[in-house]
Amino acid sequence: MRVTVFGASGLLGQELVQELSIEQDQLTALSSKDADLRDPARVRDVIRDSPPDWILLSAAYTDVDGCESNRDRAFAVNCEGAVNVAQAAREAGSRLMFLSTDYVFDGSKRSPYQTSDARNPTSVYGESKARAEERLLDILPEVCIARTSWLFGHAGKCFPATILKLASTRPEISVVNDQRGSPTFTRDLASALVQLCRASASGIVHVTNSGDCTWYEFATEIVRVSGMTTAVKPVTTAEFPRPARRPAYSVLSPDSLRAYNVHMPEWQDALRRYLEGQAGAAR
């Protein structure tokens, strides 16, 4: 399989590159320095130079709070940038997989979101991704939109790394207990995305680790499995206001993924493997 990855230097992108290298796929790995999504001519050139079977569009402006004060940039990268890639994919005859987010939902449900549920984002980041989804489905009806959530992995900053750092320097940490979602290990996600490409997936697919928790429950498990004694205190979102409003509930149903016979491990199992990897790297 010939694959081009946009966002290859990111948290997920680096795992995608690793996964595809193991499988000996023909890979073109691009960061923003190689091709800025906002430059349609450059995007077209890198795809036309070596037309791939699949384009994995992991690149995005992912600073959820930053997007609130940089609406233009959020839409230029996450929506218009994605449109540039979709148009180039159509010209080259390549398939496109677009990474999207649980933040396209408003969080008012109390049962897992289905792919057919209506988008109603509460943040600029979520809006830019929701709009991109709609535009891409128009341009490329065969596009695969992989929505995921709460990423953690070895290739960059993430929630478990932050908790480990805080817990090693403080006797107590406070973590919000009124936002529920599914933590997702980039290694498991990369493997699932490549399986979806091989299965020629199209349409919207929800891809997260199995199970769900609040950020407080996630932090408690990180501290427990690491053998630390730091106290974790549950707090409310209202006590820790952030610029972007996050959904209170954004668990994504695995039904669409199971339709392709792809199964994701429980998040606790993924976390254990992540922590083993961290410990290995520190030795």
Ligand X SMILES: NC(=O)c1ccc[n+]([C@@H]2O[C@H](COP(=O)([O-])OP(=O)(O)OC[C@H]3O[C@@H](n4cnc5c(N)ncnc54)[C@H](OP(=O)(O)O)[C@@H]3O)[C@@H](O)[C@H]2O)c1
Q: Which residues are catalytic?
A: 125
Strands 151-152 and 184-185: parallel
Choosing from 58, 177, 220, 256, the residue that interacts with ligand X (CB under 6 A) is: 58
DSSP string, 135-173: HHHHH-TT-EEEEE-SEE-TTS--HHHHHHHHHTT-SEE
Q: Which amino acid type is present at position 58?
A: S
CB 101 within 8 A of CB 75: no
By C-beta, is 149 or 220 nearer to ligand X?
Answer: 149
By C-beta, is 55 or 59 nearer to ligand X?
Answer: 59
Choosing from 7, 52, 160, 181, the residue that interacts with ligand X (CB under 6 A) is: 7
**How many Cα neighbours within 13 Å face the side chain of 104?**
26
33 is a contact residue toward ligand X (CB under 6 A): yes
Binding mask 125-154 for ligand X (x = CB under 6 A): -----------------------xxxx---
Min CB(109)–ligand X separation in Å: 17
Stretch of 33-41, 105-113, 135-143, 215-223 lying at the interface with ligand X (CB under 6 A): 33-41
Question: CA–CA separation, 27 vs 22, rounded Å?
Answer: 11
By C-beta, is 228 or 268 nearer to ligand X?
Answer: 268
Stretch of 28-36, 166-174, 230-238, 266-274 lying at the interface with ligand X (CB under 6 A): 28-36
Neighbours of 141 (CB within 10 A): 9
Min CB(254)–ligand X separation in Å: 16
Min CB(77)–ligand X separation in Å: 4
Choosing from 54, 61, 218, 267, the residue that interacts with ligand X (CB under 6 A) is: 61
Q: Determine the residue with CB nearest ligand X.
A: 10
Burial of 277 (0-12, 13-18, 19+ CB in 10 A): middle
Spell out where the chain has E strands: 2-6, 26-30, 54-57, 95-101, 144-148, 151-152, 172-176, 180-181, 184-185, 203-206, 213-214, 231-235
| 3-class secondary structure, 28 | strand
By C-beta, is 146 or 173 nearer to ligand X?
Answer: 146
Choosing from 3, 27, 37, 264, the residue that interacts with ligand X (CB under 6 A) is: 37
Binding site for ligand X (CB under 6 A): 6-13, 31-33, 36-38, 58-62, 77, 81, 99, 101, 148-151, 156
